[in-house]
Amino acid sequence: MTASTPVVSGGGPLLGVRVLDLTTFLSGPSASQLLGDLGADVIKVEAPEGDMTRTVPPYFVGPDSAYYLANNRNKSSIVINLKTAEGCRLLERLAGEVDIVIENYRPGVLKRLGLAVPELLVRHPALIWASISGFGQDGPWCDRPAYDLIVQALSGAMSLTGEPDGRPVRLGIPVGDLVAGLYAVIGLLAAWADRLRSGSGRWVDVAMLDSQLAMLSYQAVYNTVGGVTPAAQGNRHDSIPTYRTFVGSDGRELAVTASTQRMFEELCHALGLPELIDDPRFVDPAGRLANRVELWELLEKEFAAAPAAAWVERLGERRVPAALIKNVPEAIQDARESDRGMVREMTHPDGRRVEVLGNPVKFRGEPRGELRYPPPLGEHTSKILTNLLGLPSDHIAHLTADGVIYQGPG
């Protein structure tokens, strides 16, 4: 591997780590974006038609879709046509010049292109390779396509979402994709740490379904230990009856998480119901759970007597966690005002600006790094081939003319 200057300069704890990003849509791009946020030099490899999210409607800033802008900052872009033999050879050469490759092809696709991962790892033993797929690199479903909705359905997550006795509901955020991306980053960082010790790479295999199953957490163990079938809880909790939402007199909802004995007692005082503390039905967690319907009726009646915001303030004074249920614009405005760097602005060289969500990983005492605008298709093709592979300009021109690569603006 070379020690040449990063294609796109940046800074952070992963400065000097070079990543070849072969991913599309969401699970992979969200993972590689996080690596870029942490300082890695991320080279996004795209087909001539580009990542399909570049054109996802309905919102655009200039020619770029909001979807694409949300997941592709801090990267450079090279276009290689992997339907050509020369394109596949270029990709393998690039793999030999990076530390990490991350891809989310369906298992078997790369092998059909002559890019079998085990063989690549033999030729490049220090390379760390991460494969994100719907169902993993082996098993009976490995060759099936998968999307967020599919793994939410198969994992049981949808059966837990929605109101009791209602229909299963897809989570409003694409957790199947995003969680797989996060697990891929965890695996990559673990493999990187091991390579610093051993000098050897690894193949990280992350399945979207596995990742979603892992998110079931205690609900899965409730099934394996208790023999129950966990079901949708709405805005309630299977085990803690005072961990739920309530409605104030203004119709606004608030979330309350009175999960300890102290919090329950303070909740009762805040609502003007101190007699519930010693009520035999509610004196301990088991009793409150067994008599939750009666408890809810009493609490709901009191919450309906004042606006939700007033209850949030009153409960906060007694150190009972509570919050208004915000919509997305309200949550984003709160984030702006908190100055935690979770709403950031990216500026295109032509002056276009867009607000995006920032990196939740902070390093105390260090400045927030610049967010580099997602690249136009093929913007860095020539630069990458020159800097990493040492290809002369006439060879690059020949590859362009043959349709092996595409050179975008820049």
Q: Are the beta carbons of 211 and 135 closer than 8 angstroms?
A: no
CB-neighbour burial class of residue 320 (10 A; exposed 0-12, middle 13-18, buried 19+):
buried
**pLDDT at residue number 4:** 47
Can you tell me the distance from the alpha carbon of 152 to that of 138, in angstroms, rounded to the nearest whole number?
A: 20
Can you tell me the distance from the alpha carbon of 5 to that of 23, in angstroms, rounded to the nearest whole number?
A: 23
**pLDDT at residue number 7:** 58
Can you tell me the distance from the alpha carbon of 95 to that of 20, in angstroms, rounded to the nearest whole number?
A: 7
Can you tell me the distance from the alpha carbon of 257 to that of 242, in angstroms, rounded to the nearest whole number?
A: 6
- Where are the extended beta strands (E) located within 224-317? 243-247, 253-257
Q: Where are the domains of the chain?
A: 18-215+342-406, 243-324
**pLDDT at residue number 22:** 98
Decide: helix, strand or coil at residue 102.
strand
Reported as type and span, the H/E element at residue 356 is strand 353-357
Which portions of the chain are predicted below pLDDT 70?
A: 1-10, 410
Per CATH, the homologous superfamily of domain 243-324 is formyl-coa transferase, domain 3 (3.30.1540.10)
Distances from the Cα of 197 to the Cα of 15, 130, 203, angstroms: 18, 19, 16
Global pTM value: 0.94
Can you tell me the distance from the alpha carbon of 95 to that of 124, in angstroms, rounded to the nearest whole number?
A: 8
Can you tell me the distance from the alpha carbon of 188 to that of 129, in angstroms, rounded to the nearest whole number?
A: 8
**pLDDT at residue number 11:** 77
Can you tell me the distance from the alpha carbon of 257 to that of 331, in angstroms, rounded to the nearest whole number?
A: 19
Distances from the Cα of 261 to the Cα of 11, 226, 286, 290, angstroms: 47, 24, 11, 16
Q: Are the beta carbons of 69 and 354 closer than 8 angstroms?
A: yes
Decide: helix, strand or coil at residue 284.
coil
Q: What angle do CA 49, 43, 80 make, to 5 degrees?
A: 35
- Amino acid letter at 169? V
pLDDT per residue as tens digits for the range 195-206: 999 999 999 999
Q: Would you state the CATH architecture of domain 18-215+342-406?
A: 3-Layer(aba) Sandwich (3.40)
Q: Are the beta carbons of 34 and 57 closer than 8 angstroms?
A: no
Can you tell me the distance from the alpha carbon of 101 to that of 367, in angstroms, rounded to the nearest whole number?
A: 28
Q: Are the beta carbons of 71 and 373 closer than 8 angstroms?
A: no
Distances from the Cα of 133 to the Cα of 7, 36, 44, 154, angstroms: 28, 21, 18, 14
- Where are the extended beta strands (E) located within 134-272? 203-207, 243-247, 253-257
Which sequence positions are flagged as catalytic? 177
Counting every residue, how long is the chain?
410
What the block records as the tokens of 239 is 């085990």
Decide: helix, strand or coil at residue 294.
helix
Can you tell me the distance from the alpha carbon of 283 to that of 261, in angstroms, rounded to the nearest whole number?
A: 9
